[in-house]
A and B are shown apart, each in its own frame.
Chain A
């Protein structure tokens, strides 16, 4: 299957700072990328969908000014958690799909964010 690389795998940041998470498709062009948040022992919650070159579409209840998503190229999307607070601590996962991949998306390894 196609490879999606997410970085960093773990990050600890101080409250009030911003942190950026990268999601790269290594061997295909990702026309669409999805960002999820997962709380312990729960399912994946879709935060936003981003199409290359367009503004991200955020799910209801997700603050777009808090979680900035950029999908400037066909191989890279970034999620920036701005002015992070302890309640933003969570596991964040990206997935990517290409134009020709009309059946599945591929997942990154996830990022464990801890805000102290």
Chain B
């Protein structure tokens, strides 16, 4: 079974600075998807960024980028120019490609990010 590990339960960053959230995973599959989700105090799950394993290029979405190291099974999220609104729980997630139906997400334990003004 696939597993996702987020080893840092909490981190803090100064506003406008850069922070990197780490995530490792374990799978025997060669094709899969990886995600970072944000859960603010409202508890709405928000997709931050996703990466297809077959793509070597790291995904980027504005201030958010990933460092995807397939051989090391590492998938870190970099937040640049941190803003107060980035404060939230961040979950790393893994998903197999669909096989007939949609496949479930496997989540890490999450990491609480605090942004200091």
Contact = CB atoms under 8 A, between A and B. Distances in A.
Contact of A1 (B47, B102, B110): B47
Interface in B78-117: 91, 95, 97-98, 101-102, 104-105, 107-110, 112
B47 A104 contact: yes
Interface in A1-53: 1, 31-32, 34, 38, 41-44, 46, 49, 51
Interface stretch (A62-70, A77-85, A89-97): A89-97
A104 B45 contact: no
Contact of A104 (B50, B97, B107, B108): B50
B66 to A, nearest CB: 15
B35 interface: yes
Nearest to B42: A109
A105 B29 CA distance: 20
A41 B91 CA distance: 12
Contacts of A44: 45, 91, 105, 107
Contacts of A42: 109-110
| Interface range for A | 20 to 34
B104 A110 contact: no
Nearest to A103: B33
A31 B44 CA distance: 21
Interface of B: 33, 35, 42-47, 50, 52, 91, 95, 97-98, 101-102, 104-105, 107-110, 112
Given A41-B112, A42-B110, A95-B105, 13 more contacts: A31-B101, A32-B101, A44-B91, A44-B107, A51-B101, A93-B43, A98-B102, A102-B98, A102-B102, A104-B35, A105-B105, A109-B42, A110-B43
Interface of A: 1, 31-32, 34, 38, 41-44, 46, 49, 51, 91, 93, 95, 97-98, 101-105, 107, 109-110
15 contacts: A31-B101, A34-B104, A41-B112, A43-B91, A44-B105, A44-B107, A93-B43, A93-B45, A97-B102, A98-B102, A105-B102, A109-B42, A109-B43, A109-B44, A110-B43
